[in-house]
Structure 1
Amino acid sequence: MSEHTRGVFAISVAAEMVSMQVQNLRVYERRGLLEPDRTAGGTRLYSRADVERLQRIGDLLAEGLNLAGIARVLALEDEVRRLRAQVARLRGPDA
């Protein structure tokens, strides 16, 4: 697990970093918009990647999208990233 994806921030810290309410982060998790790490005791730990995703969620909310629309946009963005990485691998190091 990279430093960028390892959960290190408590939910209250992550919420403060993105100026959101803690309850909203729980809703976003329930809706499948993000998946923070969990300690053995069940405490949520957010990574830098999770915080960036929360910022993206906030941006999309500000643009007027509802949570279903945001879920679709995030899924499409994830797919584009995956496909770009696949294309880069197929092209090889010389490309």
Structure 2
Amino acid sequence: MAIDFDQPIFVISVAAELADMHPQTLRQYDRMGIVSPSRAPGKSRRYSQRDVNMLREVQRLSQEGVSLEGIKRILQLENQVAALQRRVSELTQELGQRRQAADSRIFAAGTAGDVVSLARGKRPQARSQALVVWRPRGIDKDRL
């Protein structure tokens, strides 16, 4: 069974012990918006393993001399970079799918009158005397 790193399961005392910090420090970080845990129905804080890992990173940066405001900004930028990387991956996948769909819409007529689907930039397998490319009206070639 895999561990869900985002499952809020630790109460503040356990999270503080796992992060080797005092519970009051975790409360301060929550107030400052550095590490904000989930809230249980009774308004008590619940920390996930990801939160505990982030607390350890905050502690490491603090020991290296980075101010709390600097740590907050670093964490914000790291979250932004991760979100942008996910978006680039999504767009790359979508572009690949669109290119594949566009490539399957290019056809050529062979010498025997057969229709051959062409991949972009490739010639048909059989040598033909003419290459006919048909593109429906209203399709911008730059979109393909």
Same fold (TM over 0.5): yes
Give distance in 2, aligned partners of 1:39 and 1:32.
18
Q: Secondary structure at the match of 2:43?
A: coil
Q: Secondary structure at the match of 2:46?
A: strand
Residues 28-47 of structure 1 mapped to structure 2, 5 A cutoff: 28-47=29-48
Which amino acid in 2 is paired with 1:27? Answer: Q
Give distance in 2, aligned partners of 1:41 and 1:82.
31
Q: Which has the larger radius of gyration?
A: 2
Identity among equivalent positions (%) equals 40
* TM-score, normalised with respect to structure 1: 0.91
Mind listing any 5+ residue stretches in structure 1 that lack a counterpart?
none
* TM-score, normalised with respect to structure 2: 0.61
Consecutive aligned runs of 4 or more in structure 1 exceeding 4 Å deviation: none
Aligned to 2:51: 50
Root-mean-square deviation (CA, aligned residues, Å) is: 1.5
Mind listing any 5+ residue stretches in structure 2 that lack a counterpart?
97-144
Aligned to 1:60: 61
Which amino acid in 1 is paired with 2:89? Answer: A
Q: Secondary structure at the match of 2:35?
A: coil
Offset from partner CA, 1:45-77 (integer Å, 9 cap, x none): 100110111011011101101110001100011
